[in-house]
Amino acid sequence: MDMKNERKRTFLLITIPILALFVCFNTIPLIRGVIYSFTNFKGFGTYDWVGFRNYADLFTDGRVGKSYLFTFKLAVVTTVVVNVLSLVLALALNSKIRAKSFFRGAYFLPNILGALVVGYIFNYFFTYILPAFGSMIGSDAMGSSILSNPDTAWIGIMVVCSWQAIAMNTIIYISGLQTVPEDVYEAGGLDGATGWKQFRYLTFPLIIPFFSINMVLCVKNFLMVFDQIMALTKGGPAQSTESISYLIYNNGMSGGQFGFQSANAVIFFLVIVTLSVAIHSVMGYALGRNKGHSKFYSFVYLFIVSGMFVPFAILMMPLAKQTAEMGLANWFGVILLYVVFYMPMNIMLYSGYLVNIPIALEEAAKVDGASTWRTYWKIIFPIMRPMHATVAVLTALAVWNDVMTPLVIMAGSDQNTLPLAQLNFQTQFGTNYNLAFASYLLSLIPILIFYVVCQRQILNGVVNGAVK
C-alpha cells in the first residue's frame, strides 16, 4: 500500500466512527424530536399523529408565552452586561499592570465553580445576607429577598449568569487583544489616537470576530439557561422565572407533555438556528476555507461544528427515550453523550490550531517512511500541547459542573453525579447550607488544581485555535 492510499484510509478510519457517533446521539435524536412534536406522545406507550395541533396550542398557551418572554429578556440583558464587563476586564488585564498572571487566574475562578454551586451561594446571599443588610440600613426595598418577588427574581438569575459567564468571555477577548499588533497602536499614537479613540477606531474593529463569537455564544447559552434556575428559584415565584429549557424539562419529562414540549423545543431550536446562521457563515469562511480540498471532509467538518448550535432542549426528551431503549441510561451513556456534545467545539479548536503547524513536518515524516498514525502521535500530538490543555480544561469544567444531562438521562436510577448529589441539599423546606457549602468547597479543590496546572497553556490555545 502506497503512502497516499494509507493516508486516505487512516483518515477514513478516523472520520467514519466519529461521524457515526455524532449522528447517533445528535442527528437522530434531533429528527426524533421533530417527529414527536407532531404527535401526542407522553414519553411512554403508544401515540397518535396530531399534525400541527401542538404548535397551535403553543401560541395559545399563556405559560409558554410567558417563558419565552422571560428567556428572551434574560438572554438580551445578560448578554449586554456580560460583554460590556468582560471587555472592560479584558482591556485591564491585557494592559501593563502588576500581578497580571495572578489576576488572570483569579478572574477565571467563577467559571470553575459549577452553576449549581454558584446558584446556591447566591441563593444564600439573596435570601439572608442582602435582606439583613437592607434591614440594617433601613431600606424597605432590600429588606426582603429579591428571589421571593416575581418582579425582581429574574435580576438574581441575571446576576448569577453574568458573574459566572464573564470569565470565559474575558479570556476570549484577551485572546483577541493579543492578536492586535503593537505597530497599529504606535501608528495610531502618531496620528493622535489615544484612549477612547484608540479603542473605537483601532482596537474594537480588529477584535470584531472575537466580539461576534462572544455575542452569539452568549445569547445561545443564556437562551438555554437551566442550572441557575434549578438552584435559585425552580421557576418561581408564581412561574415568573420559568425559562424555555426549564419548562420543557418540567412539563416534558415529568408532566406527560412529551409531544407538546417537543413542539416547543422545535420552535426554540429554530430561534437558535436563526441566531447561529450569522456566526456560522463567519466560522465557515474563517475556519472552513482550508477544507476545500475534499468536499466530503468539508461537509463532515461543517456538519459536526454546526452541532454546537443545536440546543439541548430539542435533544432532551428524544435522548432520554433513546438512551433508555439502548440500555444507556447510566454512567456510560452520560459519558458517551458528553463525547458527542463537546465534539463540535473541540474539533473547531483543534482544526484551527492545526493551521499553525507546517505541513512540511508531515511531508518530511512521510519521506522517512512514517505512517500517518506514527506521524500524528510522534510529531503533531506533542506540538498541540497548548490546545490539549485548553480543550481539557474547558471540557472538564463543563462536565464537572453539568446538571442537566445526568438529570435527564439518569432520572429514576440510583446513580448520581456530584452535581446531582448536591441537589439533595435543597428541599421544598429549605437548603442545608452548612453541608452544601462544605460539599462545594471539597468539589472545587480537584478542578481548581487541574486548572492551575493547565492555565498557562489556555490563552495560547484559544488565540491559535479559536479564530483562523
From the CB of residue 415, how many other CB atoms can be counted at a distance below 10 Å? Answer: 13
| pLDDT tens sequence across 313-336 | 778 878 888 888 888 888 778 878
Q: Is the pLDDT of residue 405 over 60?
A: yes
pLDDT above 80: residue 77? yes
- For the stretch 358-374, pLDDT in tens is 778 878 888 888 887 78
CB 172 within 8 A of CB 212: no
Residue 463 has pLDDT above 80, yes or no: no
pLDDT value of residue 272: 42
14 vs 150, higher pLDDT: 150
C-alpha 64/C-alpha 88 separation (Å) is 36
* pLDDT at residue 451 is higher than 50: yes
Tell me the mean pLDDT in the region 324-350. Answer: 81
Return the pLDDT at 85. 92
Confidence of residue 188 (pLDDT cuts 50, 70, 90): confident
Higher pLDDT, 144 or 175: 144
| Residue 458 pLDDT | 57
Cell of 293: 480540498
Give the model's confidence band at 79: pLDDT under 50 very low, under 70 low, under 90 confident, else very high.
Answer: very high
Q: Helices in 207-330 by DSSP H: which ranges? A: 208-223, 227-232, 244-247, 254, 258-288, 295-306, 312-325
The pLDDT tens digits for 123-173 are 888 888 888 888 888 887 788 889 888 889 999 999 999 988 888 888 788
Is 284 or 416 the better-scoring residue by pLDDT?
416
Please answer whether residues 172 and 218 qualify as being in contact, where contact means their C-beta atoms are separated by less than 8 angstroms: no
pLDDT confidence bin for 122, thresholds 50/70/90: confident
Residue whose C-alpha is closest to residue 85's, from 146, 21, 161 = 161
Per-residue confidence (pLDDT) for residue 155, from 0 to 100 = 92
**Reported confidence tier of residue 179, pLDDT bands at 50, 70, 90:** confident
Choose which CATH entry (3.30.70.100, 3.40.50.880, 1.10.3720.10, 3.40.50.300) describes domain 3-465.
1.10.3720.10
